[in-house]
Amino acid sequence: MDVKTNFEVIVVGAGASGLLIAQGLKLNGIKATVYERESATTYLTRPREWGMSLHFGQNSLSKCIPPNLMSRMNEALCDPYDTERRTSWPLYNGQTGEKFFDMPGHNPIRVSHRKLRALLSEGIDIRYGKRLVKLSRTEASSSATAKFADGDTATAALIVGCEGAHSAVREALVGRERAVNTPIDVQVFNACWRLPADVALLQRKDSPVFRVGYHPAGMTWVSGIQDVKDPGDPTTFLFQQLLSWPGRPHAEDFPDQRSKVEFVKEKARIYAEPWKSAGLNIPEDTELHVDRIAIWKPDVTVDWASSCPLWPHVAVAGDAAHSMPPFRGQGLNNALTDAERIVSELVEVKHGIKSLGEAVRSYESEMKARGAKEVEISTVQSRMVHNWDTLMESPMMKAGMDAYKGDVGEYTKYLDQKVGKQAGSVS
Ligand SMILES: Cc1cc2nc3c(=O)[nH]c(=O)nc-3n(C[C@H](O)[C@H](O)[C@H](O)COP(=O)(O)OP(=O)(O)OC[C@H]3O[C@@H](n4cnc5c(N)ncnc54)[C@H](O)[C@@H]3O)c2cc1C
């Protein structure tokens, strides 16, 4: 196969990163097929849903999708009726309800995890029900083969693992032990529920799309609109509520669902409005999962060409390449940046400007440095926003939603001196 001019790409995982890579390759005349483990039905009906702040990633998005899809971006919005252009998100003292900061960002919007996938899936060749279980190299060494749980195989010059935080392609690149995520002692409840009309309207007063309430007791409560069926009927509004805390209680400390709902109500009682009424009105049958935050940082000192015999025929993007805490709203934005970067490198391969190895190396070098830094700074952010004494010094106060350009070491030194190793640090 002539890798310079005629090659195909397999993308594993139909999340935002995988779909944008497929869109970008298609736009540039490179054949890409996406293999997704979920069935065509469960892919669209999966129960867990959340909103994501999309800001600098919009730039990458616009470079990889055709103008007709870009003009339909409002379909991916949590509230498709909200047309206001913003320059920041409001941050509040959750105990008093006072706003203390407008966190700047590049036209931040809230997109739905589910709706964004639906939009980016359009026109893409997706094979559902294909769970990647194994990768191997072909005899000729000019391609790699993916094996799926149902026994099917697929071969291509490049397989890009976009299968999220538990990535088999990541494992192939760095080895099983090094691919493991590291837990952080921060717990999250992330769920969506509807509210009575008056409470729903209160949630949207002053900050109709998104707000974060930091509580002096060391908790954060992100709340935002998740879906609007009828803008004239507040009972159709769905809200995302993300409550996080360091240390205990851990998942095993909750005996049942009821105790989790009670926990939300107990915290709501010490929060100001609108979190108070959002929490007190949580439906009793809300299914709550305790998610423990975990991270994975690409090691910039490890050359994947040496650690993986399949290189350069395998690569990773998105959460598979860097898993970060959500408290700076960076995972999606970096996933989309990865997609745009890898597409632009592969276009150079198509035009014979670079070999596949040169392109993959160039992609990895930029992605690893950017991803590693963001994992570090998002981890620092995670520790600092769950501690009232350090909140006001946290990275978001300096960098807003933008990529952090400074020295992360300064923050870790400050934290270690000020609070030492505490709940919320890497365990
Ligand atoms: C609560 C929460 C809030 C967040 N808020 C923000 C935010 O505000 N801003 C932001 O930028 N980011 C945010 N993020 C992060 C963001 O959601 C992720 O970084 C982003 O969705 C990652 O996309 P991805 O394509 O890399 O992976 P995923 O979206 O995880 O997609 C991976 C896909 O691969 C499939 N898959 C998995 N294993 C296999 C396999 N073996 N074979 C085939 N397919 C497989 C999965 O089914 C899935 O469809 C948030 C995350 C969470 C959990």
Taking the C-alpha atoms of residue 337 and residue 339, their distance in angstroms, rounded to an integer, is 5
What is the tally of structural domains in the chain?
2
> Is the pLDDT at 89 greater than 90, yes or no?
yes
pLDDT value for 3: 46
Instruction: Pick the atom of ligand 1 nearest to 13's CA.
Output: 34
Quick one: pLDDT at residue 44? 87
How far does residue 290's CA lie from ligand 1's centre (Å)?
17
Q: Give pLDDT, residue 1.
A: 41
Q: Which atom of ligand 1 is nearest to the CA of 35?
A: 43
Neighbours of 313 (CB within 10 A): 26
Q: By residue range, what is the domain housing residue 254? A: 184-293
Alpha-carbon span 170 to 251, nearest angstrom: 27
Beta bridge partners of 54: 109
Q: Scan for tokens 């990773």, then name that residue.
A: 316
Q: Is residue 328 in some structural domain?
A: yes
Decide: 168 and 147 in contact? Cβ < 8 Å.
no
Give the length of the chain: 427
* CA distance between the termini of the chain: 47
Instruction: Output the pLDDT for position 6.
Output: 60
84 part of a folded domain? no
How far is residue 77's CA from residue 95's CA, in Å, rounded to a whole number? 29
Task: Kindly give the distance from the C-alpha atom of residue 312 to the centroid of ligand 1, in angstroms, as a whole number.
Answer: 24
325 vs 188: CA distance, rounded Å: 11
**Cα(15) to centroid(ligand 1), Å:** 6
Residue 101 lies in a domain: no
Q: Is 162 in the pocket of ligand 1 (CB under 6 A)?
A: yes
- 152 and 210 co-located in one domain: no
| Ligand 1 atom 35 nearest Cα | 13
| 273 vs 137 pLDDT, higher one | 273
Q: Please, are residues 370 and 334 in contact by the beta-carbon 8 Å criterion?
A: yes
What separation in Å is there between the alpha carbon of 398 and the centre of ligand 1? 27
> Is the distance from CB of 4 to CB of 352 less than 8 angstroms?
yes
Q: Please tell me whether residues 161 and 196 are part of one structural domain.
A: no
Task: Among 293, 319, 346, identify where a domain stops.
Answer: 293
Q: Is the CB of 323 under 6 A from ligand 1?
A: no
Q: Is residue 69 part of a domain?
A: yes
pLDDT beyond 60 at 4: no
Residues 65 and 138 in one domain: yes
